[in-house]
Amino acid sequence: VQLQASGGGLVQAGGSLRLSCAASGRTFSSYATGWFRQAPGKEREFVAAISWSGDSTHYADSVKGRFTISRNNAKNTVYLQMNSLKPEDTAVYYCNARRFSSTTMSWEDHWGQGTQVTVSS
C-alpha cells in the first residue's frame, strides 16, 4: 500500500487543520493506521492510531481532547482533525499503515511522505 498525506499548512495558535492520508491498494481496510510527527531536532513520536475497522482509537496524551482520528475505508483515506492547535504541535506529520503478516510472521509498515504543520503563536 502507498500513502499520500496532505492538508498541512500554517495556522495560528488556537486554529484547526484537517490532515488526510490517501492510500492506494485494495487491502487498505486490513491495516491499522496512524499518525506520527517529527519536530526539528526531535525523534518521531506517536500521535494517534485507529484500528482497521475504525472501532478503536488511541491518542498520545499531548493531543487527547484536541485531535480526532477517523477513517473511511470506502475512500481508502484516514483523517486527523486537529483543533486548538498549539505552537508545540509544529512538526512534519506522517501517516502510517500497519498490519501483521502471517506469511512473514512480522509487522508490515508503510509510511507516507509527510506534510508540514506550522502553528504560529
Tell me the pLDDT tens digit for each residue of 19-74.
999 999 778 888 999 999 999 999 999 999 999 999 999 999 999 999 999 999 99
Per-residue pLDDT at 28: 85
Could you read off the pLDDT of 9-25 as tens digits, one per residue?
999 999 999 999 999 97
Per-residue pLDDT at 101: 86
Could you read off the pLDDT of 75-108 as tens digits, one per residue?
999 999 999 999 999 999 999 999 988 898 888 9
Grid cell at residue 90: 509544529
**What contacts 3, CB < 8 A, 6 or more positions away?**
21, 22, 23, 95, 96, 97, 110, 111, 112, 113
Per-residue pLDDT at 29: 86
